[in-house]
């Protein structure tokens, strides 16, 4: 596993990896989610804050090839779990580069410029969202895409999974408009918004070819 130059960063608030049972119930088809968001064969993709890899192995399955997925997280234990899951899913060990790094210092940590950056279930907790979006902008290839998967701005009481309210506190949840307010000033353009029932949306931004 590559250790980035800065592994001493702080974890974002409300970014703990959820328990597997309700996470699998909420996200039964991670590959379908990725395809809805435009992830496709041949892309080089960064799974930013990948956690225990719920989306990472499906990503590697879609894009194929060697080293086209970079999976980044601050937490070495979660990265080990993600690695085991990818192995169990039959993904060759050469397909994914594992990066133990702080998401706030991407430019020093990511070994190549991706076509696509994916962040799920984490952006709501990032203290300086515009700065993170700037980091992503700087690391992406021109013409690349940035996808954010977020809980809808609904009361936590309403977002039950396996009989219990789940997800971040209501006040941390963001509307797509609030995400745009953070991301568009950096230079991205809105590509589209996709519903991800029952409780999420995905919002995809383009980095212009010439900025
Ligand atoms: C809620 S989990 C989401 C995991 C995965 N994206 C998913 O949806 O299944 C959030 C992840 O963000 C990681 N994280 C929090 N702060 C981070 C930071 N500053 N740099 C890198 N990863 C971070 C946590 O370790 C955790 O794995």
Domains of the chain by residue range: 2-8+18-206
At 41-70, the pLDDT tens digits run: 999 999 999 999 999 999 999 999 887 999
What is the CA(193)–ligand 1 centre distance, in A?
A: 22
CB-side neighbour CA atoms (13 Å) of 128? 10
- pLDDT for res 20: 83
Our answer on whether the CB atom of 49 is closer than 6 Å to any ligand 1 atom is: yes
pLDDT higher than 70, residue 7: no
Answer yes or no: is the C-beta of 71 below 6 A from any ligand 1 atom.
Answer: no
2-8+18-206 homologous superfamily: Vaccinia Virus protein VP39 (3.40.50.150)
Say yes or no to pLDDT of 3 above 90.
no
Once rounded to an integer, what is the mean pLDDT over residues 175-179?
Answer: 98
Q: Is the pLDDT of residue 8 over 80?
A: no
State residue 211's pLDDT score.
60
pLDDT band at 6 (very low <50, low <70, confident <90, very high): very low
Q: What is the mean pLDDT of residues 174-199?
A: 98
| Ligand 1 neighbourhood includes 121 CB (under 6 angstroms) | yes
| Alpha-carbon gap, residue 133 to 148, rounded angstroms | 10
- Residue 36 clears pLDDT 70, i.e. is over it: yes
**Rounded mean pLDDT, 144-169:** 97
From 49, 139, 173, the mutation candidate for ligand 1 (largest count of ligand atoms within 8 A of CB) is 49
pLDDT of residue 5: 40
| Mutation pick for ligand 1 pocket among 11, 132, 202 (CB with most ligand atoms within 8 Å) | 11
């Amino acid at each position: 596993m590559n250790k980035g130059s800065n592994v001493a960063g702080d974890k974002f608030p409300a970014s703990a990896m959820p328990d597997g049972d309700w996470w699998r119930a909420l996200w039964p088809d991670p590959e379908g989610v990725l395809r809805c968001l435009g992830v496709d064969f041949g892309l080089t993709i960064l799974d930013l804050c990948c956690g225990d890899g719920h989306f990472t192995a499906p990503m590697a399955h879609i894009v194929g090839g060697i080293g086209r997925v970079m999976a980044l997280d601050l937490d070495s234990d979660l990265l080990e779990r993600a690695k085991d899951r990818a192995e169990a899913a039959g993904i060759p060990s050469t397909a994914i580069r594992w990066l133990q790094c702080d998401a706030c210092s991407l430019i020093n940590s990511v070994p190549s410029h991706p076509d696509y950056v994916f962040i799920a279930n984490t952006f709501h907790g990032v203290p300086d969202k515009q700065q993170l979006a700037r980091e992503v902008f700087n690391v992406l290839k021109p013409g690349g895409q940035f996808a954010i998967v977020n809980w809808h701005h609904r009361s936590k009481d309403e977002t039950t999974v396996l009989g219990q309210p789940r997800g971040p506190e209501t006040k941390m949840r963001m509307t797509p408009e609030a995400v745009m307010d953070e991301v568009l000033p950096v230079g991205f353009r809105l590509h589209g918004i996709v519903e991800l029932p029952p409780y999420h949306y995905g919002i995809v931004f383009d980095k212009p070819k010439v900025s």
